[in-house]
Structure 1
Amino acid sequence: MKHRNFLKLALSTALLVAGLSANAQVTKIRFAHAGPEATSQHQAALEFAKLVKERSGGKLEVQVFPGSQLGNDSTVIGAVRGGTIEMMMAGSGNFAGLVPRLDVLDIPFLFRDQPHAYKTVDGDIGQSLMKGLETGGLKQLAFWEVGFRSITTKNRAVRTPADVKGLKIRTTPNPTHVQAWKLLGTNPVPMPLGELYQALEAGAVDAQEHPIDITYASKFYEVQKHLTMTRHAFTAMPVVFNKQKFDALSPELQKVLLSAASDGKLLQRNLNQKNEAHIIAELKKNGMQVIETFDPAPFKTLVNDDLRKSFIAKNGPELLTAVDAIK
């Protein structure tokens, strides 16, 4: 009897040790972003987490934190660089302080259409920009997207540059965006996405500009009446990992993260393209007046030369020339 009890105890101990050992092998990854849960970026992040768990055989486990739960973009970038959070994504302008050349992606009216933007970030230019983040302690896994931005306003529809003059508009902290809106005669007010709804509701700002899935998911239709499909700027979204922690993973697990990030990128793009008509219809149902046809030429005339000169003065002409040359 004693012998049997001893065997049972030994077996239980062995199973417990095996279980603890298996748990110890699981690397948990916190993935933070500012987008609401209904956005394509969050849906893609959930798919990324699922793919990572499957492809790593459970060795990697991703937990997604949307809606600025772990802090605003600036705070979370610092946390990922410092290693207290493993992973995050944010609009490319938030990283321009680390890689000034990233500003090229945020120049309004730079990209002719979606294929032009995708060829830029997926090709040699994008690879070069991604590599630049490594000096800041970040490993970029892929370029996802915030998308093409369109303006909403509370009291006036936007058709011409005259319609935006004097507006207090929320913008990103990116200097290129701020300069562009100043050139158009607005008063740009940089602020985090998480603070924007209240600012619109209180009248601290009159207008905002985001891709329409963020406008819809954030319920800005409750505090804004007019949407014009300006598509005035494309915002790429670097998905980044703490470089030291990425380098500490096995090559196999690194490949899992990279392949899942690439698949997540394609999923998000497909969602954005598939959902656009539905989102516009929903915004109309919720009372927004939507202008779907827009002439960008008068706006581009006012901002193009000055924005390009500013970028070239800081970074040289080569990068802009390369983007313009993409067919």
Structure 2
Amino acid sequence: MKIGRRLLSIILIVTTLSAMLTGCGDSSKKDSVTLTVAHVLNETHPYHLAWTEVAKLVEERTDGAMRIEVFANGVLGNERDIIEGMQLGIVDISCMSTGALASFSPSFMALDLPFLFDSRENAYKVLDSEIGREMLDDLSDHMMVGIDFWENGFRDVSNSKRDVLVPEDLKGLKLRTLENELQMGTFTTLGANAIPMAWGEVYTALQQGTIDGQENPLATIYLNKIHEVTTHISLTEHFYAAAPVVMSKKTYDKLSPENQKVLVEAIQEVTDYERQISAQSDVDYLEALKADGVKIIEDIDKELWREACQPVYDKYKDQIGEDLLQRIQEKMNGKR
């Protein structure tokens, strides 16, 4: 694997932090281990609150022999950097967008299809089934262990130019997207000028007018003050943002079977909590955004948008697999 300058910086940071943590640890615990969790959002986001709960459970259940240190705000790199760090065994665990994993397992592309899920409940039917398990297990061929699915909620469009009510309103807008072919293709199909960009650059790009808008869940928009530079928000809910919890296989294999069990069970126990606070954050931050004077477009005709996105399904159905798409639909419909 080619190691870039950014990844070398991450290696240096993690190595330094590990040394500091080892120095501060309890030397009486000869088999103690400290795991590094990295994610790109801030300390008040549901991701971070959930990881804090996992860290508490793990430390309690191992009597302090296994600890978790959580690094937020992308200090250990963007999601691609974190994945490469996990493959090398220098970052231990993360949760991230499905788009970041799609290049390793095409099945994750299915979860990035626009308007695939019309509710959280339908998403959970799929993610918590054998379909979701198969997706996570596919990562084992890429030096990663898939543990569970958390979430980042439904993604909405915000911009600084105009109200977006129907797909045609996106035409010509310079819209930041994830660095993901399918999601970029979705917004290109809808007429926007899709611009992939690392998350850490987005606020400044909006402030300077390099881009007109972006798309993210309300929690991400509010907590990162995106609404200060994009005063029109449309509740399009175009993508449901599943967040796979993924671990470095190198790290997982080094843990004792007992610690593996404690860690996996703690993460899975916290899944419901993470999903609950994510869902509640949609309610809370919608009210907070309204209180801050942001114009919210709530009356969105989802069927109209879904029809406009049909070319995306036609383009990617062979790559994703029509059988997988059929299984997802059947699972949502309760047929099997």
Normalising by structure 2, what TM-score? 0.89
Query: Residue 315 of structure 1 aligns with which residue?
Result: 320
Corresponding residue SS for 1:50: helix
Divergent runs of 4+, >3 A: none
AA at the equivalent of 1:20 = S
Separation in 1 of the partners of 2:63 and 2:98? 32
| Structure 2: tracts of 5 or more residues without a match | 1-25
Distance 1:93 1:60 in 2: 30
In the other structure, the counterpart of 1:158 is 164
CA distance in 1, matches of 2:95, 2:101: 10
SS at match of 2:108: helix
Q: How far apart in 1 are the matches of 2:172 and 2:191?
A: 6
Report how far residue 224 of structure 1 moved.
0.8
Per the alignment, residue 52 of structure 1 pairs with 58
Equivalent residue number for residue 217 of structure 2: 211
Alignment of 1:237-252 (within 5 A): 237-252=243-258
Residue 145 of structure 1 is matched in structure 2 by 151
Which of residues 1, 12, 25 in structure 1 aligns to 2:31? 25
- For residue 207 of structure 2, the aligned residue among 201, 208, 211 is 201
Q: Given the alignment, which residue of 220, 227, 239 partners 1:221?
A: 227
Q: Which amino acid aligns with 2:90?
A: T
Contact preservation (8 Å) 1:170, 1:205: yes
Percent identity at matched positions?
33
- 2:178 matches 1:172: yes
Please tell me the root mean square deviation across aligned C-alpha atoms, in Å. Answer: 1.2
- Map of 2:297 onto structure 1: 291
Measured in 1, the distance between the counterparts of 2:320 and 2:132 equals 16
> 2: CA distance between counterparts of 1:72 and 1:244?
20
TM-score calculated relative to the size of structure 1: 0.91
Task: Please say which of residues 286-295 and 103-112 is displaced more in the overlay.
Answer: 286-295
The answer (yes or no) to whether the contact 1:221–1:287 under 8 Å persists in 2 is: no
How far apart, CA to CA, are the structure 2 residues paired with 1:264 and 1:256? Answer: 12
Q: Identify the residue that residue 16 of structure 1 maps to in structure 2.
A: none
Task: Work out the CA distance in 2 between the residues paired with 1:193 and 1:147.
Answer: 17
Query: Match of 1:162, SS?
Result: helix
Consecutive unaligned residues of structure 1, counting only runs of 5 or more, are 1-18
Q: Secondary structure at the match of 1:166?
A: coil
The SS at the match of 1:62 is strand
For this pair of structures, how many residues does the alignment match? Answer: 307
How much has 1:294 moved relative to structure 2? 1.2
Alignment of 1:66-145 (within 5 A): 66-145=72-151
Deviations 1:230-276 (A, max 9, x none): 11111211111111221222222111111111122211111122232
Shift of 1:311: 2.4
Which has more radius of gyration? 1
Are residues 55 and 293 of structure 1, via their aligned partners in 2, closer, same or farther at CA, if it must alter by over 3 Å?
farther
**SS of equivalent residue, structure 1 residue 20:** coil
**Alpha-carbon shift at residue 315 of structure 1 (Å):** 3.3
Map Cα deviations across residues 50-100 of structure 1 (whole Å, 9 max, x no partner): 111112221210000000011111111101111111112210110111101
Q: Distance in 2 between matches of 1:199 and 1:68?
A: 17
The DSSP-based 3-state class of the residue aligned with 1:52 is helix
Distance 2:90 2:59 in 1: 21
